[in-house]
A = this chain, B = another copy of it.
Amino acid sequence: MISIQQADFDLAAEYQALRADAPSIGAIVTFTGLVRDFNLVESTPENTSVQGLFLEHYPGMTEKSLAAIIETAKTRWSIINTRVVHRIGAMHPGDQIVFVGVNSAHRGDAFAACEFIMDYLKTQAPFWKKELTEEGERWVESRDTDQQAAERWKTD
């Protein structure tokens, strides 16, 4: 299940759906990303306070790239199902931005697949963040650490 939506999401509902999938499920791993109140972009070390965020995306390609990321995860790990929710539009500090949930018979597979999906989403899925700070709007710069996180999963 992939959902791109303006509305907030309910982690409990996502979790219950993952729990109900199959009686062989022994492990559920969830990741939730929240809007922080400070900025971690390396190019702006001053940690300017963030008042709001705007999430833009590329409709069509977003869903396609997330589906491809999930397919890759399913070939690499023994997982049963995944749920990915990514919000778009205006958000505020403390708001939920993204949810990735994975269920599996085994905890190792659930952890690895969930982190893999997040790392690839961060570098492959066409979302862009614009921050509203005390000094005005600015597009968030991509981070080298995100690129490195995704590189870790490369197999030769």
Interface residues of A (CB under 8 A from B): 11-12, 15, 19, 23-38, 40, 93-94, 105, 107-108, 110-111, 114-115, 118, 145, 149
Q: Complex formed: what's the CA distance from A15 to B26 in Å? A: 19
A-B contact pairs, 6 of them (CB 8 A): A24-B37, A25-B36, A28-B32, A31-B107, A108-B115, A108-B145
Q: Complex formed: what's the CA distance from A27 to B35 in Å? A: 9
| A94–chain B nearest beta-carbon distance, Å | 6
Q: A29-B30, A30-B29, A108-B149 are in contact. Are A36 and B12 (CB under 8 A)?
A: no
Q: Complex formed: what's the CA distance from A25 to B37 in Å? A: 8
- Do B28 and A31 touch (CB < 8 A)? yes
Q: Complex formed: what's the CA distance from A94 to B25 in Å? A: 8
Q: Complex formed: what's the CA distance from A84 to B28 in Å? A: 15
Q: Complex formed: what's the CA distance from A149 to B27 in Å? A: 15
Q: A31-B111, A107-B33, A111-B31 are in contact. Are A15 and B11 (CB under 8 A)?
A: yes
